[in-house]
Amino acid sequence: MISTMFEVPIINLKIDNWQHKKEKLIEVLRLVNSTINQQGTIYTDYFSDQQQYSYIKNIEDIFSDEISTICTLLKQPMYVNNCWFEVAKLNNYHGIHNHGSVGYSAVCYMQYKKELHSSIRLVSPFYNFLTGDCIDYSPEISEGSLICFPSAVLHYTEPNLSDVDRIVVSFNLRAK
């Protein structure tokens, strides 16, 4: 008999009423656009002093249905403890990182073209037990997808090889 000792969940949602929610997200992005600066190989407002908590309520309101679904699936009430936008221009990428050992992280693809962009790469906390190779996973996504995964999971993006920006809004969820 074989069974599973550990598993790493990922939630992949297609956002309902996407066009309306995208318009709301664009409104928020316009408000914070001046705080989006190049940080290494990516443009983001994550490190902005003004960013901290300034639009969490907007994100919670826009994604209230999706956050509710995530909480139901995880059987845990959660709240958004921070959020940020990220813009990948030509040749931009986000190097490997995680969001700490506690909670879940979510990424919504606001501007994403399958034929031009690649999705996030998530790195397994376990190596291949037979070869020792690193294992990674790229979820099937499209514009209007929201993925949610444990914050401790290492992840990265590959360089954007297109003149069309890849834009995401991300947020971290913590248990209430």
Q: Is residue 3 part of a domain?
A: no
Q: Is residue 40 part of a domain?
A: yes
Does the pLDDT of residue 171 top 80, yes or no?
A: yes
Residue 80 tokens, joined: 């958004």
Amino acid symbol at 53: Y
Q: Is residue 5 part of a domain?
A: no
The residue ranges of DSSP E strands in 18-165, in sequence order, are 37-39, 42-44, 78-88, 104-111, 121-123, 136-137, 145-150, 155-156
Residue 16 tokens, joined: 């309902």
pLDDT tens digit sequence for 152-168:
999 999 999 999 999 99
pLDDT score of 9: 97
Q: Is residue 2 part of a domain?
A: no
Write the CATH number for 135. Answer: 2.60.120.620
pLDDT score of 53: 64
Please tell me the distance from the alpha carbon of residue 95 to that of residue 72, in angstroms, as a whole number. 31
Q: Is residue 90 part of a domain?
A: yes
Question: What's the whole-model pTM score?
Answer: 0.94
- Binning pLDDT at 50, 70 and 90, where does residue 51 land? low
Which residues form the domain of 156? 11-175
Determine what percent of the chain is predicted with pLDDT higher than 70: 97
pLDDT score of 54: 81
Mean predicted confidence (pLDDT) in 59-67: 98
Which is it for strands 104-111 and 121-123: parallel, antiparallel or unpaired?
unpaired
Compute the CA torsion angle 31, 53, 145, 102 (nearest 10 deg).
160
pLDDT score of 36: 87
Q: Is residue 6 part of a domain?
A: no
**Which among 99, 109, 104, 140 has a CA at the least distance from the CA of 8?**
104
Domain count across the chain = 1
Q: Is residue 126 part of a domain?
A: yes
Q: Supply the DSSP symbol for 15.
A: P
Amino acid symbol at 160: N
